[in-house]
């Protein structure tokens, strides 16, 4: 549903995009969907700088990498205009920086430009967000009069504000100088698990319990800081909030004084933002660095030790030397595989990954993978079962990447299956799709981790059962599936096993006639 403009006119949209194809795609989107946009398109930061100096826009959509700058440069000039970052890089670090710098949202462009399907909804939310912010600013400007009157008009205005605040994405708590709660929006209710009618008039310390996320010690409330300093204050980057039900939520808290025209402080407004995602990204990257460091150090240490031994022992037999050189070669392969995985992720993120689409025999690909992993499976006593149907058809795709996808799934199944378990690989055709299943009788995946396992750097936390890895394999698998226009699903039960199912589209003629 589109947000209606109070003046019944088109919304002013600025698109800063240096890619001519993306510019044309945006124009087609506006025309095809009949969007009420009065849009302006520029192709560089310099052009954006010039037009922002003289024209105000309702929303700006900015490509991250421009020829003469970045979206951060445009953000600094946008004032109170909501800025939506758009990039094909898909870098979580950039996303976090963008949101912290004040960007309204961050969308990832894809080669098929499917991101355009959600762009109108993101723009609508940005317009709603701007309207809410403007309404809140207007309210603050009029707060002195509202507090003085304390009449039915105040109650009506507070009710109007409460409706407005419900659409905000951040929690808002307003208190008077005695720290009694006077405003409490819907997001604040969700964060604290308290209802406004339950907390109205209560001392905020009974509701808002910030703690240090690391030490679990009580933290200093930014509201108390404002009462002391009479200035805007922020919490620490380790703040968390303890909800009514005892659950813990990482937050970013900012509190500011509400003043009369003469400077007298009437109260304090606090904005709470759920930063669980940002903290999780930071944790995953820390875990990733630690994991990669360990994975690199182990083979390097072995290589160094064997080389040192060979160099020092001049009387070493040729047989022993060959054994040492074989070990060095195997450890070098481990390093090579890890570095290749890191490079693959880098290529995917930068959009420079090479992709070819040629006819391929999926049966042959699966057999090659099984040949490569059979020795590892035999070492653990794991039974490999294969169920490949006839007449699968000829898949159009990049054989090397499909093989990498199957290898990752089968390799993971073996890695996370205890000794004497079973791994099953099957392939069948279902209508216009090729369906590949890889199932195991392994450790399984906790329900709370199922939505995250395809995230880059994510590793399932298994106390006492942690298995080495970098958290890159499944992320690469999903990217390969997406490149081929397919999808991947997972079902799992803890300690009983997992099943990964890949659906890849088959050419229409193959699906109908083979």
For residue 21, give the nearest of 116, 120, 119 by alpha carbon.
116
pLDDT at 306: 86
Burial of 423 (0-12, 13-18, 19+ CB in 10 A): buried
Q: What is d(CA 48, CA 60) in angstroms, rounded to the nearest whole number?
A: 10
What's the Rg (C-alpha) of the chain?
29
* DSSP H or E segment with residue 189: helix 186-192
pLDDT at 40: 93
Residues of the chain scoring pLDDT < 70: 1-8, 89-90, 140-141, 143-155, 157-158, 160-167, 288, 291-292, 294-295, 341, 345-346, 348-353, 456-457, 463-471, 508-514
Q: Which two tokens stand for residue 244?
A: 């009514």
pLDDT at 345: 67
Q: Residue 324 contacts by C-beta under 8 Å, 6 or more apart in sequence?
A: 306, 309, 310, 316
Q: Is the C-alpha dihedral spanning 25, 31, 32, 36 positive or negative?
A: positive
In CATH, the architecture of 170-274 is 2-Layer Sandwich (3.30)
pLDDT at 425: 94
Q: What is d(CA 325, CA 72) in angstroms, rounded to the nearest whole number?
A: 51
Are residues 230 and 237 in contact, defined by beta-carbon separation less than 8 angstroms? Answer: no
Q: 11-129 adopts what CATH topology?
A: Rossmann fold (3.40.50)
Residue with tokens 């995917």: 348
User: Domain residue spans in the chain?
Assistant: 11-129, 170-274, 279-347, 358-513
11-129 matches 170-274 in fold: no
pLDDT at 149: 63
Regarding beta strands 83-87 and 65-66, do their DSSP bridges make them parallel or antiparallel, or are they unpaired? unpaired
Q: Residue 151: phi, psi to the nearest 5?
A: -125, -170
Are residues 417 and 379 in contact, defined by beta-carbon separation less than 8 angstroms? Answer: no
Q: Cα–Cα distances in Å, from 54 out to 50, 129, 446?
A: 7, 23, 54
Burial of 180 (0-12, 13-18, 19+ CB in 10 A): middle
Regarding beta strands 37-42 and 11-16, do their DSSP bridges make them parallel or antiparallel, or are they unpaired? parallel
Q: Residue 423: phi, psi to the nearest 5?
A: -125, 130
Q: Which two tokens stand for residue 162?
A: 């409460």
Q: How many CA atoms lie within 13 A of 242 on its CB side?
A: 14
pLDDT at 3: 39
Q: Which residues of 366-379 are buried (b: 16+ CB within 10 A; e: fewer)?
A: beebbeebeeebee
According to the CATH classification, is domain 358-513 in 3.40.50.2300? no
pLDDT at 487: 94
Q: What is d(CA 504, CA 498) in angstroms, rounded to the nearest whole number?
A: 20
Query: Which stretches of 380-492 are DSSP H helices?
Result: 399-415, 473-483
According to the CATH classification, is domain 279-347 in 1.10.287.130? yes
């Amino acid at each position: 549903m589109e947000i209606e403009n109070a003046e019944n006119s088109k919304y002013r949209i600025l698109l800063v995009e240096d890619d001519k194809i993306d510019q044309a795609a945006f124009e087609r989107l506006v025309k095809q969907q009949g969007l009420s946009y009065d849009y302006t398109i520029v192709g560089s930061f310099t052009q954006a700088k010039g037009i922002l100096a003289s024209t105000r826009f309702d929303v700006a959509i900015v490509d991250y990498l421009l020829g003469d700058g970045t979206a951060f440069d445009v953000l600094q000039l946008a004032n109170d205009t909501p800025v939506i970052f758009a990039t094909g890089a898909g870098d979580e670090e950039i996303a976090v920086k963008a949101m912290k710098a004040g960007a309204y949202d961050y969308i990832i462009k894809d080669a098929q430009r499917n991101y355009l399907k959600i762009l109108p909804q993101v723009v609508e939310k940005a317009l709603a967000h701007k309207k809410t912010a403007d309404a809140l600013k207007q309210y603050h400007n009029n707060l002195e009069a509202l507090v003085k009157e304390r009449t039915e008009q105040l109650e009506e205005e507070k009710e109007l504000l409460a409706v407005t605040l419900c659409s905000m994405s951040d929690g808002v708590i307003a208190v008077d100088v005695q720290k009694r709660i006077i405003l409490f929006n819907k997001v604040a209710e969700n964060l604290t698990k308290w209802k406004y009618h339950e907390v109205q008039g209560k001392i905020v310390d009974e509701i808002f319990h910030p703690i240090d996320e690391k030490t679990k010690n009580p933290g200093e409330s930014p509201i108390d800081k404002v009462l002391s300093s009479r200035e805007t204050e922020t919490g620490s980057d380790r703040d968390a909030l303890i909800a009514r039900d005892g659950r813990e939520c990482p937050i970013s808290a900012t509190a500011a004084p509400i003043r009369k025209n003469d400077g007298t402080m009437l109260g304090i407004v606090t904005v709470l933002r759920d930063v669980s995602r940002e903290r999780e990204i930071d944790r995953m990257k820390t875990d990733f660095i630690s994991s990669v460091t360990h994975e690199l150090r182990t083979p390097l240490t072995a290589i160094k030790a064997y080389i040192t031994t060979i160099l020092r022992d001049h009387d070493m037999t040729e047989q022993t030397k060959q054994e040492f050189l074989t070990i060095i070669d195997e450890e070098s392969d481990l390093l090579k595989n890890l570095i290749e995985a890191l490079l693959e992720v880098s290529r995917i993120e930068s959009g420079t990954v090479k992709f070819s689409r040629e006819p391929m025999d999926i049966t042959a690909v699966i057999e090659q993978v099984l040949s490569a992993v059979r020795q590892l499976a035999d070492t653990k006593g794991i039974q490999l079962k294969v169920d490949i149907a006839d007449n699968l058809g000829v898949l159009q795709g990049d054989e090397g990447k499909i093989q990498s996808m199957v290898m990752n799934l089968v390799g993971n199944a073996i890695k996370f299956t205890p000794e004497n378990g079973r791994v099953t690989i099957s392939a069948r055709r279902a209508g216009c799709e090729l369906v590949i299943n890889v199932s195991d009788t392994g450790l399984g995946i906790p329900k709370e981790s199922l939505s995250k396992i395809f995230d880059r750097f994510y590793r399932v936390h298994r106390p006492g059962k942690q298995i080495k890895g970098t958290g890159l394999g499944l992320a690469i698998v999903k990217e390969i599936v997406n490149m081929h226009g397919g999808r991947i699903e997972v079902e799992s039960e803890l300690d009983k096993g997992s099943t990964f199912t890949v659906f890849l589209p088959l050419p229409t003629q193959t699906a109908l006639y083979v």
